[in-house]
Structure 1
Protein backbone atom coordinates (compact mmCIF):
# COMPACT_ATOMS: atom_id res chain seq x y z
CA UNK A 1 0.00 0.00 0.00
CA UNK A 2 2.86 2.45 0.75
CA UNK A 3 4.39 1.79 -2.66
CA UNK A 4 1.18 2.77 -4.40
CA UNK A 5 1.06 6.10 -2.60
CA UNK A 6 4.60 7.00 -3.64
CA UNK A 7 3.90 6.30 -7.34
CA UNK A 8 0.73 8.36 -7.30
CA UNK A 9 2.54 11.27 -5.74
CA UNK A 10 5.30 11.20 -8.38
CA UNK A 11 2.77 11.30 -11.20
CA UNK A 12 0.86 14.25 -9.80
CA UNK A 13 3.89 16.42 -8.93
CA UNK A 14 5.02 17.31 -12.52
CA UNK A 15 1.51 18.43 -13.46
CA UNK A 16 1.45 20.80 -10.55
CA UNK A 17 4.89 22.17 -11.45
CA UNK A 18 3.89 22.86 -15.09
CA UNK A 19 0.74 24.65 -14.10
CA UNK A 20 2.79 27.05 -12.02
CA UNK A 21 5.31 28.08 -14.85
CA UNK A 22 4.95 31.80 -15.83
CA UNK A 23 3.80 32.50 -19.43
CA UNK A 24 6.40 34.05 -21.86
CA UNK A 25 6.25 37.83 -22.24
CA UNK A 26 4.19 38.99 -25.24
CA UNK A 27 6.24 40.19 -28.26
CA UNK A 28 5.48 43.03 -30.69
CA UNK A 29 2.50 42.17 -32.91
CA UNK A 30 4.08 43.23 -36.26
CA UNK A 31 7.85 43.28 -35.67
CA UNK A 32 9.99 46.39 -35.16
CA UNK A 33 8.60 49.70 -36.40
CA UNK A 34 9.49 50.58 -39.97
CA UNK A 35 11.44 53.82 -40.61
CA UNK A 36 9.63 56.67 -42.32
CA UNK A 37 10.61 57.11 -45.97
CA UNK A 38 10.09 59.47 -48.91
CA UNK A 39 9.59 57.86 -52.35
CA UNK A 40 10.17 59.88 -55.53
CA UNK A 41 10.60 59.34 -59.26
CA UNK A 42 13.06 61.18 -61.46
CA UNK A 43 13.44 61.48 -65.21
CA UNK A 44 16.45 62.37 -67.31
CA UNK A 45 16.75 62.77 -71.08
CA UNK A 46 19.63 63.15 -73.52
CA UNK A 47 19.31 64.11 -77.18
CA UNK A 48 21.92 63.12 -79.73
CA UNK A 49 22.03 63.03 -83.52
CA UNK A 50 21.96 59.49 -84.97
CA UNK A 51 25.11 58.18 -86.59
CA UNK A 52 23.67 55.03 -88.17
CA UNK A 53 20.57 53.90 -90.07
CA UNK A 54 19.12 50.39 -90.25
CA UNK A 55 17.28 49.86 -93.53
CA UNK A 56 15.01 47.02 -94.67
CA UNK A 57 15.21 46.22 -98.42
CA UNK A 58 13.10 43.52 -100.06
CA UNK A 59 13.13 42.01 -103.56
CA UNK A 60 9.90 40.34 -104.67
CA UNK A 61 9.48 38.43 -107.94
CA UNK A 62 6.48 36.62 -109.44
CA UNK A 63 6.60 33.77 -111.99
CA UNK A 64 4.54 30.82 -113.16
CA UNK A 65 6.81 28.32 -111.39
CA UNK A 66 8.66 28.47 -108.09
CA UNK A 67 11.97 27.82 -109.84
CA UNK A 68 11.49 30.73 -112.23
CA UNK A 69 10.45 33.11 -109.43
CA UNK A 70 13.46 32.04 -107.36
CA UNK A 71 15.88 32.48 -110.25
CA UNK A 72 14.59 35.98 -111.00
CA UNK A 73 14.75 36.94 -107.34
CA UNK A 74 18.28 35.59 -106.94
CA UNK A 75 19.53 37.54 -109.96
CA UNK A 76 18.07 40.82 -108.68
CA UNK A 77 19.29 40.27 -105.12
CA UNK A 78 22.84 39.53 -106.28
CA UNK A 79 22.91 42.89 -108.07
CA UNK A 80 21.56 44.68 -104.99
CA UNK A 81 24.14 43.09 -102.69
CA UNK A 82 26.96 43.88 -105.11
CA UNK A 83 25.85 47.51 -105.25
CA UNK A 84 25.73 47.74 -101.47
CA UNK A 85 29.27 46.44 -101.14
CA UNK A 86 30.43 48.79 -103.89
CA UNK A 87 28.98 51.68 -101.83
CA UNK A 88 31.22 50.69 -98.93
CA UNK A 89 28.75 48.65 -96.87
CA UNK A 90 30.71 46.00 -94.98
CA UNK A 91 29.78 42.34 -95.16
CA UNK A 92 28.97 42.31 -91.43
CA UNK A 93 26.39 45.06 -91.97
CA UNK A 94 24.36 43.09 -94.56
CA UNK A 95 22.06 40.40 -93.16
CA UNK A 96 19.31 38.32 -94.71
CA UNK A 97 16.38 38.84 -92.35
CA UNK A 98 13.51 37.14 -94.22
CA UNK A 99 12.96 34.73 -97.11
CA UNK A 100 9.63 33.36 -98.29
CA UNK A 101 7.95 31.53 -101.18
CA UNK A 102 4.16 31.75 -101.54
CA UNK A 103 1.86 30.25 -104.17
CA UNK A 104 -0.76 32.45 -105.84
CA UNK A 105 -4.20 30.97 -106.45
CA UNK A 106 -7.01 31.79 -108.84
CA UNK A 107 -10.28 33.07 -107.33
CA UNK A 108 -12.65 30.29 -106.24
CA UNK A 109 -15.49 29.75 -108.74
CA UNK A 110 -18.64 27.62 -108.96
CA UNK A 111 -19.90 25.36 -111.77
CA UNK A 112 -23.48 24.97 -113.00
CA UNK A 113 -24.37 22.86 -109.97
CA UNK A 114 -23.17 25.68 -107.64
CA UNK A 115 -20.47 23.39 -106.32
CA UNK A 116 -17.30 25.38 -105.55
CA UNK A 117 -14.30 24.31 -107.59
CA UNK A 118 -10.92 24.06 -105.86
CA UNK A 119 -8.57 27.01 -106.44
CA UNK A 120 -5.78 26.56 -108.96
CA UNK A 121 -2.19 27.66 -108.57
CA UNK A 122 -1.46 30.52 -110.96
CA UNK A 123 2.10 31.32 -109.94
CA UNK A 124 4.60 31.78 -107.15
CA UNK A 125 5.97 34.77 -105.29
CA UNK A 126 9.50 34.79 -103.86
CA UNK A 127 10.58 37.53 -101.42
CA UNK A 128 14.08 38.05 -100.07
CA UNK A 129 14.68 40.76 -97.44
CA UNK A 130 17.95 42.33 -96.35
CA UNK A 131 18.56 44.33 -93.18
CA UNK A 132 21.37 46.79 -93.88
CA UNK A 133 23.29 49.00 -91.44
CA UNK A 134 24.36 52.26 -93.07
CA UNK A 135 27.07 53.89 -90.96
CA UNK A 136 27.62 56.84 -93.31
CA UNK A 137 24.27 58.65 -93.36
CA UNK A 138 25.32 60.82 -96.29
CA UNK A 139 25.18 57.70 -98.47
CA UNK A 140 21.70 56.69 -97.37
CA UNK A 141 19.61 58.55 -99.98
CA UNK A 142 21.73 57.45 -102.92
CA UNK A 143 21.85 53.88 -101.63
CA UNK A 144 18.06 53.67 -101.52
CA UNK A 145 17.80 55.09 -105.02
CA UNK A 146 20.27 52.63 -106.52
CA UNK A 147 18.70 49.71 -104.67
CA UNK A 148 15.29 50.43 -106.19
CA UNK A 149 16.72 50.78 -109.67
CA UNK A 150 18.43 47.41 -109.24
CA UNK A 151 15.26 45.60 -108.23
CA UNK A 152 14.21 46.42 -104.66
CA UNK A 153 10.43 46.84 -104.78
CA UNK A 154 9.37 46.42 -101.15
CA UNK A 155 10.58 47.58 -97.76
CA UNK A 156 12.29 50.91 -97.24
CA UNK A 157 11.68 51.04 -93.49
CA UNK A 158 14.40 53.11 -91.81
CA UNK A 159 15.43 53.15 -88.15
CA UNK A 160 17.85 55.91 -87.15
CA UNK A 161 19.98 54.87 -84.21
CA UNK A 162 23.39 55.23 -82.59
CA UNK A 163 26.20 52.74 -82.76
CA UNK A 164 27.27 53.54 -79.17
CA UNK A 165 24.45 54.41 -76.76
CA UNK A 166 26.63 54.47 -73.63
CA UNK A 167 27.29 58.23 -73.60
CA UNK A 168 23.68 59.46 -74.00
CA UNK A 169 22.36 56.85 -71.55
CA UNK A 170 24.95 57.89 -68.97
CA UNK A 171 23.90 61.53 -69.33
CA UNK A 172 20.24 60.59 -69.00
CA UNK A 173 20.93 58.50 -65.87
CA UNK A 174 22.76 61.36 -64.15
CA UNK A 175 19.95 63.77 -64.93
CA UNK A 176 17.31 61.31 -63.71
CA UNK A 177 19.04 60.83 -60.35
CA UNK A 178 19.59 64.59 -59.96
CA UNK A 179 15.89 65.14 -60.68
CA UNK A 180 14.84 62.55 -58.09
CA UNK A 181 17.18 63.93 -55.39
CA UNK A 182 15.94 67.47 -55.98
CA UNK A 183 12.33 66.34 -55.64
CA UNK A 184 13.11 64.46 -52.41
CA UNK A 185 14.84 67.49 -50.89
CA UNK A 186 11.94 69.73 -51.81
CA UNK A 187 9.44 67.35 -50.21
CA UNK A 188 11.53 66.96 -47.07
CA UNK A 189 11.96 70.72 -46.69
CA UNK A 190 8.24 71.31 -47.15
CA UNK A 191 7.45 68.64 -44.56
CA UNK A 192 10.00 69.98 -42.06
CA UNK A 193 12.13 66.81 -42.01
CA UNK A 194 15.62 65.83 -43.12
CA UNK A 195 16.66 63.22 -45.63
CA UNK A 196 18.63 60.19 -44.51
CA UNK A 197 20.29 57.43 -46.49
CA UNK A 198 19.04 56.02 -49.79
CA UNK A 199 17.02 52.85 -49.19
CA UNK A 200 16.52 51.75 -52.81
CA UNK A 201 17.21 52.91 -56.36
CA UNK A 202 15.62 51.42 -59.49
CA UNK A 203 16.09 52.34 -63.15
CA UNK A 204 13.98 52.04 -66.28
CA UNK A 205 15.58 53.15 -69.56
CA UNK A 206 13.62 53.87 -72.76
CA UNK A 207 15.51 53.65 -76.05
CA UNK A 208 14.45 55.97 -78.87
CA UNK A 209 11.55 54.89 -81.02
CA UNK A 210 12.68 54.23 -84.60
CA UNK A 211 11.80 56.83 -87.22
CA UNK A 212 10.06 55.03 -90.07
CA UNK A 213 9.18 56.91 -93.26
CA UNK A 214 6.29 55.54 -95.31
CA UNK A 215 8.00 52.75 -97.26
CA UNK A 216 5.99 52.75 -100.48
CA UNK A 217 6.12 56.56 -100.72
CA UNK A 218 9.88 56.45 -100.38
CA UNK A 219 10.14 53.81 -103.07
CA UNK A 220 8.05 55.89 -105.46
CA UNK A 221 10.13 59.01 -104.83
CA UNK A 222 13.33 57.11 -105.53
CA UNK A 223 12.25 56.38 -109.09
CA UNK A 224 11.83 60.07 -109.90
CA UNK A 225 14.71 61.69 -108.00
CA UNK A 226 18.49 61.40 -108.04
CA UNK A 227 18.45 60.26 -104.41
CA UNK A 228 15.82 59.72 -101.75
CA UNK A 229 15.55 62.71 -99.36
CA UNK A 230 16.08 61.56 -95.78
CA UNK A 231 16.51 63.36 -92.47
CA UNK A 232 17.83 61.74 -89.31
CA UNK A 233 16.77 64.38 -86.78
CA UNK A 234 17.67 63.57 -83.16
CA UNK A 235 17.30 60.53 -80.96
CA UNK A 236 16.03 61.01 -77.40
CA UNK A 237 17.21 58.62 -74.71
CA UNK A 238 15.06 58.64 -71.56
CA UNK A 239 15.86 57.13 -68.16
CA UNK A 240 13.39 56.97 -65.26
CA UNK A 241 14.50 56.20 -61.70
CA UNK A 242 12.55 55.35 -58.55
CA UNK A 243 14.30 56.28 -55.27
CA UNK A 244 13.37 55.81 -51.61
CA UNK A 245 15.03 57.83 -48.84
CA UNK A 246 14.89 57.24 -45.11
CA UNK A 247 14.05 60.28 -42.99
CA UNK A 248 16.80 61.31 -40.59
CA UNK A 249 15.83 61.12 -36.89
Structure 2
Protein backbone atom coordinates (compact mmCIF):
# COMPACT_ATOMS: atom_id res chain seq x y z
CA UNK A 1 0.00 0.00 0.00
CA UNK A 2 2.82 2.36 0.89
CA UNK A 3 4.59 1.73 -2.45
CA UNK A 4 1.37 2.33 -4.36
CA UNK A 5 0.84 5.75 -2.69
CA UNK A 6 4.45 6.70 -3.40
CA UNK A 7 4.11 5.87 -7.12
CA UNK A 8 0.85 7.84 -7.41
CA UNK A 9 2.49 10.92 -5.83
CA UNK A 10 5.53 10.56 -8.09
CA UNK A 11 3.48 10.43 -11.32
CA UNK A 12 1.31 13.35 -10.16
CA UNK A 13 4.37 15.52 -9.62
CA UNK A 14 5.82 14.50 -12.97
CA UNK A 15 2.62 15.62 -14.72
CA UNK A 16 2.31 18.96 -12.89
CA UNK A 17 5.94 20.07 -13.18
CA UNK A 18 5.94 20.83 -16.95
CA UNK A 19 2.76 22.89 -16.57
CA UNK A 20 4.38 25.00 -13.81
CA UNK A 21 7.52 25.41 -15.87
CA UNK A 22 5.49 26.83 -18.76
CA UNK A 23 3.50 29.30 -16.66
CA UNK A 24 6.35 30.55 -14.46
CA UNK A 25 8.06 32.80 -17.06
CA UNK A 26 4.76 34.56 -17.81
CA UNK A 27 4.11 35.23 -14.14
CA UNK A 28 7.61 36.56 -13.58
CA UNK A 29 7.66 38.63 -16.74
CA UNK A 30 7.96 42.37 -15.95
CA UNK A 31 5.96 44.88 -17.97
CA UNK A 32 8.08 47.53 -19.73
CA UNK A 33 8.27 50.80 -17.78
CA UNK A 34 9.92 54.17 -18.28
CA UNK A 35 10.89 56.53 -15.44
CA UNK A 36 11.83 60.13 -16.16
CA UNK A 37 13.02 62.95 -13.90
CA UNK A 38 11.27 66.19 -14.78
CA UNK A 39 12.47 69.62 -13.71
CA UNK A 40 10.57 72.87 -13.79
CA UNK A 41 10.85 76.48 -12.71
CA UNK A 42 8.56 79.44 -12.30
CA UNK A 43 9.64 83.07 -12.04
CA UNK A 44 7.69 85.64 -10.05
CA UNK A 45 8.30 89.29 -9.30
CA UNK A 46 8.89 89.80 -5.54
CA UNK A 47 6.13 91.65 -3.74
CA UNK A 48 7.32 91.35 -0.12
CA UNK A 49 10.47 92.30 1.78
CA UNK A 50 11.55 91.03 5.18
CA UNK A 51 14.16 93.09 7.01
CA UNK A 52 16.04 92.12 10.19
CA UNK A 53 17.38 95.01 12.28
CA UNK A 54 19.05 95.04 15.70
CA UNK A 55 19.62 97.47 18.53
CA UNK A 56 22.70 96.74 20.69
CA UNK A 57 24.09 98.18 23.93
CA UNK A 58 27.43 97.30 25.53
CA UNK A 59 28.60 97.63 29.12
CA UNK A 60 30.96 96.26 31.71
CA UNK A 61 28.24 94.92 34.01
CA UNK A 62 24.70 93.67 33.59
CA UNK A 63 23.39 96.72 35.45
CA UNK A 64 25.22 99.08 33.11
CA UNK A 65 23.68 97.32 30.10
CA UNK A 66 20.07 96.53 30.97
CA UNK A 67 18.68 99.97 31.82
CA UNK A 68 20.33 101.90 28.95
CA UNK A 69 19.36 99.17 26.51
CA UNK A 70 15.76 99.18 27.66
CA UNK A 71 15.63 102.90 26.92
CA UNK A 72 17.21 102.46 23.48
CA UNK A 73 14.94 99.57 22.57
CA UNK A 74 11.85 101.54 23.64
CA UNK A 75 12.86 104.47 21.45
CA UNK A 76 13.56 102.09 18.59
CA UNK A 77 10.13 100.51 18.91
CA UNK A 78 8.44 103.92 18.77
CA UNK A 79 10.35 104.73 15.57
CA UNK A 80 9.19 101.49 13.97
CA UNK A 81 5.61 102.03 15.08
CA UNK A 82 5.73 105.47 13.49
CA UNK A 83 6.60 103.86 10.16
CA UNK A 84 3.58 101.57 10.11
CA UNK A 85 1.64 104.13 8.07
CA UNK A 86 4.17 103.58 5.25
CA UNK A 87 3.47 99.84 5.16
CA UNK A 88 5.87 98.53 7.81
CA UNK A 89 4.74 95.62 10.00
CA UNK A 90 6.62 94.46 13.10
CA UNK A 91 6.36 90.66 13.00
CA UNK A 92 8.30 89.85 16.17
CA UNK A 93 11.13 90.97 18.42
CA UNK A 94 13.70 89.11 20.46
CA UNK A 95 15.91 90.20 23.35
CA UNK A 96 19.09 88.55 24.61
CA UNK A 97 22.23 89.34 26.61
CA UNK A 98 25.58 87.84 25.65
CA UNK A 99 28.84 87.78 27.54
CA UNK A 100 31.90 89.26 25.89
CA UNK A 101 34.83 87.05 26.81
CA UNK A 102 38.56 87.43 26.33
CA UNK A 103 41.47 85.04 26.88
CA UNK A 104 44.33 86.33 29.03
CA UNK A 105 47.60 84.56 29.91
CA UNK A 106 47.93 83.22 33.45
CA UNK A 107 51.12 84.48 35.16
CA UNK A 108 53.90 83.75 34.89
CA UNK A 109 53.83 84.63 31.20
CA UNK A 110 55.68 81.97 29.26
CA UNK A 111 55.63 82.52 25.49
CA UNK A 112 55.06 79.26 23.64
CA UNK A 113 52.71 76.29 23.63
CA UNK A 114 53.08 75.75 27.39
CA UNK A 115 51.40 79.06 28.29
CA UNK A 116 48.07 78.72 30.13
CA UNK A 117 45.12 81.08 29.58
CA UNK A 118 41.99 81.98 31.50
CA UNK A 119 38.66 82.89 29.87
CA UNK A 120 37.43 86.09 31.51
CA UNK A 121 34.17 88.03 31.12
CA UNK A 122 35.13 91.42 29.72
CA UNK A 123 31.60 92.81 29.49
CA UNK A 124 28.06 92.26 28.22
CA UNK A 125 26.14 93.05 25.04
CA UNK A 126 22.36 93.40 25.06
CA UNK A 127 20.66 92.91 21.70
CA UNK A 128 17.06 93.37 20.59
CA UNK A 129 16.27 92.01 17.14
CA UNK A 130 13.21 93.22 15.22
CA UNK A 131 11.82 91.18 12.33
CA UNK A 132 10.06 93.54 9.92
CA UNK A 133 7.77 92.90 6.98
CA UNK A 134 7.28 95.46 4.21
CA UNK A 135 4.59 94.78 1.65
CA UNK A 136 4.73 98.26 0.09
CA UNK A 137 7.74 97.65 -2.12
CA UNK A 138 7.73 101.22 -3.42
CA UNK A 139 8.28 102.44 0.16
CA UNK A 140 11.10 100.01 1.00
CA UNK A 141 14.03 102.39 0.52
CA UNK A 142 12.24 105.22 2.30
CA UNK A 143 11.49 103.01 5.31
CA UNK A 144 15.01 101.59 5.58
CA UNK A 145 16.47 105.09 5.24
CA UNK A 146 14.38 106.38 8.16
CA UNK A 147 15.41 103.34 10.21
CA UNK A 148 19.12 103.89 9.62
CA UNK A 149 18.84 107.67 10.15
CA UNK A 150 17.84 107.07 13.77
CA UNK A 151 21.38 105.85 14.58
CA UNK A 152 19.81 103.17 16.76
CA UNK A 153 19.54 100.28 14.34
CA UNK A 154 21.88 98.07 12.40
CA UNK A 155 20.36 96.43 9.31
CA UNK A 156 21.38 92.77 9.26
CA UNK A 157 19.54 91.31 6.30
CA UNK A 158 17.01 92.08 3.59
CA UNK A 159 15.13 89.18 2.06
CA UNK A 160 12.68 89.33 -0.83
CA UNK A 161 9.75 86.94 -1.13
CA UNK A 162 6.36 86.58 -2.77
CA UNK A 163 3.08 86.56 -0.87
CA UNK A 164 1.67 83.61 -2.83
CA UNK A 165 4.72 81.37 -2.37
CA UNK A 166 2.77 78.11 -2.43
CA UNK A 167 1.12 79.07 -5.71
CA UNK A 168 4.53 79.80 -7.23
CA UNK A 169 5.87 76.41 -6.07
CA UNK A 170 2.86 74.63 -7.57
CA UNK A 171 3.47 76.37 -10.90
CA UNK A 172 7.05 75.06 -10.80
CA UNK A 173 5.68 71.57 -10.09
CA UNK A 174 3.38 71.82 -13.13
CA UNK A 175 6.35 72.79 -15.26
CA UNK A 176 8.29 69.80 -13.91
CA UNK A 177 5.43 67.43 -14.81
CA UNK A 178 5.23 68.81 -18.35
CA UNK A 179 9.01 68.48 -18.67
CA UNK A 180 8.83 64.83 -17.58
CA UNK A 181 6.16 64.08 -20.19
CA UNK A 182 8.11 65.87 -22.92
CA UNK A 183 11.23 63.85 -22.12
CA UNK A 184 9.31 60.57 -22.03
CA UNK A 185 7.78 61.27 -25.45
CA UNK A 186 11.22 62.14 -26.81
CA UNK A 187 12.43 58.69 -25.75
CA UNK A 188 9.36 56.75 -26.82
CA UNK A 189 8.34 58.16 -30.21
CA UNK A 190 11.54 57.47 -32.20
CA UNK A 191 11.26 53.74 -31.40
CA UNK A 192 7.48 53.48 -31.99
CA UNK A 193 6.52 53.22 -28.35
CA UNK A 194 3.50 54.74 -26.66
CA UNK A 195 3.06 56.08 -23.15
CA UNK A 196 0.25 54.25 -21.42
CA UNK A 197 -1.02 54.89 -17.90
CA UNK A 198 1.16 56.45 -15.23
CA UNK A 199 2.34 53.85 -12.71
CA UNK A 200 3.93 56.14 -10.12
CA UNK A 201 4.60 59.81 -9.37
CA UNK A 202 7.24 60.68 -6.78
CA UNK A 203 7.52 64.27 -5.62
CA UNK A 204 11.03 65.63 -5.77
CA UNK A 205 12.50 68.82 -4.35
CA UNK A 206 10.50 72.03 -4.44
CA UNK A 207 12.54 75.06 -3.41
CA UNK A 208 11.79 78.72 -2.93
CA UNK A 209 14.70 81.11 -3.54
CA UNK A 210 16.43 82.60 -0.50
CA UNK A 211 15.91 86.09 -1.94
CA UNK A 212 18.64 87.73 0.14
CA UNK A 213 19.83 91.10 -1.11
CA UNK A 214 23.11 92.90 -0.55
CA UNK A 215 23.25 94.99 2.59
CA UNK A 216 21.97 98.55 2.04
CA UNK A 217 24.77 101.03 1.64
CA UNK A 218 25.11 104.78 1.11
CA UNK A 219 27.86 106.51 -0.77
CA UNK A 220 30.34 108.34 1.44
CA UNK A 221 30.09 111.39 -0.84
CA UNK A 222 26.35 111.74 -0.16
CA UNK A 223 25.59 110.53 3.37
CA UNK A 224 22.13 112.13 3.33
CA UNK A 225 20.99 110.26 0.25
CA UNK A 226 18.33 107.58 0.37
CA UNK A 227 19.43 104.03 1.01
CA UNK A 228 19.23 102.10 -2.24
CA UNK A 229 18.09 98.48 -2.05
CA UNK A 230 17.53 96.97 -5.49
CA UNK A 231 15.23 93.94 -5.42
CA UNK A 232 15.78 91.16 -7.96
CA UNK A 233 13.65 91.45 -11.08
CA UNK A 234 12.20 87.98 -10.44
CA UNK A 235 12.50 85.14 -7.96
CA UNK A 236 12.98 81.66 -9.42
CA UNK A 237 11.10 78.73 -7.87
CA UNK A 238 12.31 75.23 -8.76
CA UNK A 239 10.71 71.80 -8.52
CA UNK A 240 11.37 68.24 -9.68
CA UNK A 241 9.31 65.07 -10.06
CA UNK A 242 9.90 61.41 -10.97
CA UNK A 243 7.21 59.93 -13.22
CA UNK A 244 6.93 56.27 -14.26
CA UNK A 245 4.86 55.25 -17.31
CA UNK A 246 3.90 51.86 -18.63
CA UNK A 247 5.03 51.72 -22.25
CA UNK A 248 4.00 49.49 -25.14
CA UNK A 249 4.56 49.23 -28.91
CA UNK A 250 2.44 51.70 -30.83
CA UNK A 251 -1.06 50.38 -31.49
CA UNK A 252 -1.03 47.72 -28.72
Q: CA deviation at 1:185?
A: 1.5
Q: Matched residue pairs, number?
A: 233
Q: CA deviation at 1:246?
A: 0.7
**Which has more strand, going by share of residues?**
2
Instruction: Give the Cα–Cα distance (whole angstroms) in 1 for the partners of residues 102 and 242 of structure 2.
Output: 59
> What are structure 2's unaligned runs of at least 5 residues?
none
3-state DSSP of counterpart to 1:211 = coil
Residue 152 of structure 1: aligned partner:
153
CA shift in 2, pair 1:193/1:119, >3 Å: closer
Instruction: Give the Cα–Cα distance (whole angstroms) in 2 for the partners of residues 195 and 143 of structure 1.
Output: 56
3-state DSSP of counterpart to 1:45 = strand
Higher Cα radius of gyration? 1
> What are structure 1's unaligned runs of at least 5 residues?
1-12
3-state DSSP of counterpart to 2:187 = helix
Matched, 1:230 2:212: no
Residue 92 of structure 2: aligned partner:
95
Mean CA deviation greater in 54-63 or 26-35: 26-35
**Two-structure CA RMSD over aligned residues (Å):** 3.0
Q: CA deviation at 1:227?
A: 2.6
TM-score (norm 2): 0.78
Alignment of 1:1-249 (within 5 A): 13-14=1-2, 16-18=4-6, 20-21=8-9, 22-23=12-13, 25=17, 26=20, 28=24, 31-88=27-84, 93-96=90-93, 98-112=94-108, 114=110, 118-150=118-150, 151-153=152-154, 155-215=155-215, 218=216, 224-233=223-232, 234-248=234-248, 249=252
Instruction: Give the Cα–Cα distance (whole angstroms) in 1 for the partners of residues 184 and 31 of structure 2.
Output: 16
Instruction: Give the Cα–Cα distance (whole angstroms) in 2 for the partners of residues 194 and 54 of structure 1.
Output: 49
CA deviations 1:5-62 (Å, max 9, x no partner) are: xxxxxxxx35652453122534627943111012222222211111101111111110
